[in-house]
Chain A
Amino acid sequence: MIETVTSFSEIIEARSGEPVRTCYFCQKCTAGCPVVHAMDYQPAQVVRLILLGRKDTLLRSTAPWLCVSCETCGTRCPNGIRLAPVMDVLKEMALQEGVAPAEKKVYALHQSFIDSIRLWGRVHELSMLMEYKLRAIDIFTDIGMGLQLIIKGKIPVLPERIKNLEQVKALYRRTGR
């Protein structure tokens, strides 16, 4: 049974601004995607699942989280569909509906990143990475490289806080974060 098919594709179109229903499945997006090998559904399949209304499948898919927004698909699509914004909508939707992100570490890094901006106005890599490692429960990966980065002076130990941080916080409050 196909669930309320068209309403879902309409929602995706409205939120992403991308005309997914014009897709005729030439698979050019899949063919050019640099990370397709790691995805559970290929980019063209993601579009297909949208048109089939398979929201649950999509919100649990790794594809949106692995999409690196390199815009290769969108640049080449004969129907002018950019999948990066579509993938963003799917990630946002998963979070809004309380679906656990299919790529936990990817989510953890993004979240740590925007948390860092809220704290300092800019990203402070050292504290951001520490938060990420706690969120991802992944303490030891790349620890050697991290130390080297500090030694080489490529990660400042102390953060810089912007003066009008209040304004940035206002932007966050606007979005309910």
Chain B
Amino acid sequence: MRYSYYPGCTISATGVEYGRSIDAVCAALGIELVELEDWSCCGSSAAHALDHELSLSLPARNIALAQPSGLDTLMPCPACYQRTLNADKHLREDEGWRKEMETLLGFTYNGQGRPRHLLDVLGNDLPAEAITSRVKRPLKGLRPVSYYGCMLVRPPELTGWDDPEHPVLMDRLLVALGAEPVSWSYGVDCCGASLSLNRSDVVKTLVGRLVAAAEEAGANCIVTVCGMCHINLDTRQQGTQMPIFYLTELMGLAFDLPGREEWFRKHFTNPLPLLKSLGL
């Protein structure tokens, strides 16, 4: 299996352990990732907040770069994924703008190289045995809540996710890893990550609510597939020690892949005591 790979800016910075665990897990699963040559930033929340045009044209450049390979583009970051889907929609629907972009970026849009989120690929492109057969250390005793966040599933007309209010894909994968996911009602609530630096007061409220809800549901950790959610939940929880995992970190743990101790050391909320107590 081959995918074009768009890591996004977070992977080389605050989401470094996300990137490393993706590399390791994909290698173990036989997923070949071909990093998009000379990719640029999608513009994230900032571009669409200040400049509508820029929020479309920045991801369009990456679509142009991805197209020649004809491969779907795997994206670990929900924001990159959502912004790229949005630009792709405009390329499809707004002919005048598409022509402008084609001239500027030197390509002819053909709809190839569809943006795909990592969770979608792991959950939908692999047969279930591909995961279960690789599990060497079932995550027994780990009771995670699946945290999808906002941008992965919304707006549904763009992302086409299974159920924008109650998605289940991540829970399915966690069960395959031998974990015991706990159901809760906050899986698609927003953590406010884009305000993490400048309105941390607002964000601390949101994060506090999420962590409290996870605790109340009886969870011992939160699992995410978003670099923004991860750093936000990991650093902005107050007075709690709720470990926040990337799904791929847990896959690496269950597959018994090397290098994972280094991933966990990058966390602010130390997950090692929990893993140790569970014999993982």
Contacts and interface: CB of A to CB of B under 8 A. Distances in A.
**Best-surrounded residue of A116, A145, A171, A174 (most CB of chain B within 10 A):** A171
A132 B46 CA distance: 12
Interface stretch (B7-15, B130-138, B213-221, B248-256): B7-15
Interface SS of chain A: helix
A68, A89, A91, A106 interface centre (most CB from chain B within 10 Å): A68
A172 B105 CA distance: 13
Range class of the A interface residue count: 35 or more
Interface string A79-114: 000101000110110010000000101111111011
Contacts, number: 168
A68 B82 CA distance: 14
B45 A69 contact: yes
A66 interface: yes
B275 interface: no
Interface in B15-54: 16, 38-41, 43-54
Contacts of B14: 125, 149, 154-155
A117 B198 contact: no
B52 A35 contact: no
Contacts of B52: 15, 88-89, 92
Given A37-B205, A172-B54, A71 B9 contact: no
Interface residues of B, number: 54
B39 A168 contact: no
Interface in A29-80: 34-35, 37-38, 65-66, 68-72, 74-75
Given A69-B45, A177-B54, A163 B38 contact: yes
Contacts of B41: 116-117, 121-123
Contact of A113 (B13, B44, B164, B231): B44
A66 B48 contact: no
Contacts of A138: 198
Interface in B195-209: 195, 197-202, 205-206
B115 to A, nearest CB: 17
Nearest to B104: A170
B268 A148 contact: yes
A171 B50 contact: no
B235 A82 contact: no
B98 interface: no
Given A69-B45, A71-B155, A152 B13 contact: no
Interface in B70-128: 104-105
Contact of A117 (B43, B53, B192, B266): B43
Nearest to B12: A156
A153 B266 contact: yes
A84 to B, nearest CB: 8
B194 A68 contact: yes
Contacts of B53: 174-175
B156 A106 contact: no
Task: Indicate the member of B40, B105, B189 with the most A CB atoms within 10 Å.
Answer: B40
Contact of A75 (B154, B195, B205): B154
A164 interface: yes
Contacts of A15: 52
Given A117-B40, A125-B14, A177-B54, A142 B190 contact: no
B61 A168 contact: yes
A168 B46 CA distance: 16
B202 A35 contact: yes
Contacts of A82: 155
Nearest to A132: B197
A97 to B, nearest CB: 14
B198 A109 contact: yes
Given A70-B154, A75-B165, A122-B41, 6 more contacts: A69-B150, A71-B154, A75-B164, A105-B197, A111-B50, A114-B50
Closest 7 CB pairs of A and B: A70-B190, A113-B46, A70-B150, A71-B154, A105-B198, A110-B46, A123-B9
